[in-house]
Amino acid sequence: MKSFLDTIFFRSNNLDYLSQNIKDLTKNTPANKIFYAINSHSSESEVRYVGGCIRKIIKKEKVDDIDLATNLNPHEVCEALNKNNINYFETGIEHGTVTALIDGYKFEITSLRKDISTDGRHAKVQYSKDWKEDASRRDFTMNSIYSDLEGNLFDPFDGKKDLENGLVSFIGNSDIRIKEDYLRILRYLRFFTNYSKYPHNPELIRKIKINIGGISKLSKERLLDELKKITQVETLERLAKNSISLEIIQSIFPELKNINIFSKLNSEKKSILKNLDFIFLLSLMIIDEGDNTEYFLYKFNISKKDHKRLKIIDNFYKEKIHSQTFSENNMNRIFYFDGKQAVIDILNFQIIKSKKSEKSLIELINHYSNKLVPKMPVGADFLMEKFNIPEGKQLGAKLKIIEEEWVKNNFEISDKQINNIIDN
C-alpha cells in the first residue's frame, strides 16, 4: 500500500514540478508574446511548446532552445507575428518553420504537418490541423510531448513515461522511421546515450546497421550540426564506454579516431573539459600523427576561424615534443604570432593527453588567460626616421629581426639591441 501511495505522490509532485516550470518558461521569456499573437489570431488558432524544451524540463536540464508547434500554416503565422510587431525570418519556411525574434530569444514555430513522401533526407509535407497527426511524424516518443503555456500536456505516445523510465522509443516502426530520415540514427545515439536506462535493443541495432549506408545521403551540414549536439563531455564519456554506440559513431565519423580518450578521463580532466568548446573537444578526437585532421576539414565545412584553430593545434603536435616545447619563451611565440586562443588550446591539449598531472601547464594557462597580446614597440616609421632606412626589403628584414628578438626576450628590447641589429 505504501509503495502504491509513494508512486502516486511522486507522479503528482513530478506533474506539479513540470507544470510550474513550464509556467516559469512562459513568464521568464518572451514566449507569452508568441502565445498571445497566435492564440488570438482566430477562434481556432493554437500554439504549444513541443520537443526539446519539454524533454529538458522533465529531466531538469537547462532549456536552451524553445520550439513551438501551431495549427496555423506558415503564412498565417507570419500574419499573426506581423500584427503583433514581432520580428521573424523565414529561412525554414519551406519546411513549415518560421523563427521569431524577441529580446534576443529565438522561437522556432513549426506548423502541424503530415508527411506525403520522404527520401531519407527531406520530407514533402502537407500542413495539418491534427495534433496527433503531427506527433505521429516525429522521431521518438520523448520528442512528441506538447504543452500549452499553463503546463497542460498533450502526450499521445506516452513520451513522458518513456523518458522517466529511461526508454528511448521510436514512434511506430523503427525501420520506417529511420528510412524517412537517416539522421535519426545519430539522434538515436544521442538520446540513448543521454537518457537510456537499458542496453541497446539488438533488433533495433540490427536495423540501424542495415540502414547505416543511408547516412551518405545526408548533407555534411546536418551531420556536423548533430555531431555538435553529441560533443558534450558527459555524452562523449558515456558513448565511448558503450562498445555498440562507439562502433556506430565511428562508422559514421571514422575521423573520430581518438574518441576513446573520453572513456579514460579523471575528475581533474573532466573539470577542465566542461569549460571547453566543441572545436577543442573535436581536436582531441581527430588530431593524429597523419593527415586525419586535414581530411576532416576537407570533408566538413567549418568556419575559417575554426579551421585555422584546428590547424594550429594539429601543426604544433606534428612537431617533436621536447623539454623546451612548453617553456614560457616558446609559448610566448605562439601567444604573439597565433593569439591567446592558440596557446590556451595547445596547453589544454597537452594537459588532457598527458598521463601525468601537468600543474606547470595549468599555471601557464592562468598566466596567458589574464594577459593581453602585446604590441611591438618598434615600427617601420621609427626605423625610417631614426636610422634613415628607406622603404623596401631591407626595412622589412630589420623589422622582422627586431620582432624576433623582442619576442625571444619576453617582449622586451633595449635601444642597444636595436642599434646592434641595425648596424649588422
User: What does the pLDDT read at residue 324?
Assistant: 84
Return d(Cα 406, Cα 410) in angstroms, integer: 7
Query: Which ranges of 328-392 would DSSP assign to H, the alpha helix?
Result: 328-338, 340-353, 359-369, 380-387
Please answer whether residues 85 and 45 qualify as being in contact, where contact means their C-beta atoms are separated by less than 8 angstroms.
no
Say whether pLDDT at 1 is over 90: no
Cell of 224: 556536423
Say whether pLDDT at 12 is over 90: no
For 124-161, how does the pLDDT look when each residue is reduced to its tens digit (9 = 90+)? 778 899 999 999 999 999 999 999 999 999 999 999 99
User: What does the pLDDT read at residue 121?
Assistant: 64
pLDDT level of residue 34 (50, 70, 90 thresholds)? very high
% helix, strand, coil for the chain, step of 5: 60, 10, 30
- Write down the pTM of the prediction: 0.88
For 263-307, how does the pLDDT look when each residue is reduced to its tens digit (9 = 90+)? 999 999 999 999 999 999 999 999 999 999 999 999 999 999 999
User: What does the pLDDT read at residue 246?
Assistant: 97
For 315-358, how does the pLDDT look when each residue is reduced to its tens digit (9 = 90+)? 999 988 887 899 999 999 999 999 999 999 999 999 999 988 88
Return d(Cα 272, Cα 261) in angstroms, integer: 14
User: Shortest CA distance to 191 belongs to which of 138, 122, 137?
Assistant: 138
Mean pLDDT, residues 62-80: 95
Say whether pLDDT at 197 is over 50: yes
User: What does the pLDDT read at residue 225?
Assistant: 96
User: What does the pLDDT read at residue 288?
Assistant: 94
pLDDT level of residue 10 (50, 70, 90 thresholds)? very low
pLDDT level of residue 423 (50, 70, 90 thresholds)? confident
User: Could you give the angle at which helices 304-316 and 292-299 cross, rounded to 10 degrees?
Assistant: 170
User: Shortest CA distance to 248 belongs to which of 184, 177, 174?
Assistant: 184
Domains and their CATH numbers in the chain: 1-172 (3.30.460.10), 380-423 (no CATH)
Range of lowest pLDDT (71-75, 179-183, 273-277, 395-399): 395-399
For 347-398, how does the pLDDT look when each residue is reduced to its tens digit (9 = 90+)? 999 999 998 888 999 999 999 998 999 999 888 988 998 888 888 999 989 9
Mean residue pLDDT across the chain: 91
pLDDT > 90 in the chain, percent: 78
pLDDT level of residue 120 (50, 70, 90 thresholds)? low
Range of lowest pLDDT (2-16, 46-60, 237-251, 409-423): 2-16
User: What does the pLDDT read at residue 119?
Assistant: 61
The DSSP string of 251-309 is: HH-TT-TTGGGGGS--HHHHHHHTT--HHHHHHHHH--SSSHHHHHHHHS---HHHHHH
Mean pLDDT, residues 120-125: 66
Question: Looking at the DSSP assignment, which residues form a beta bridge with residue 120?
Answer: 181
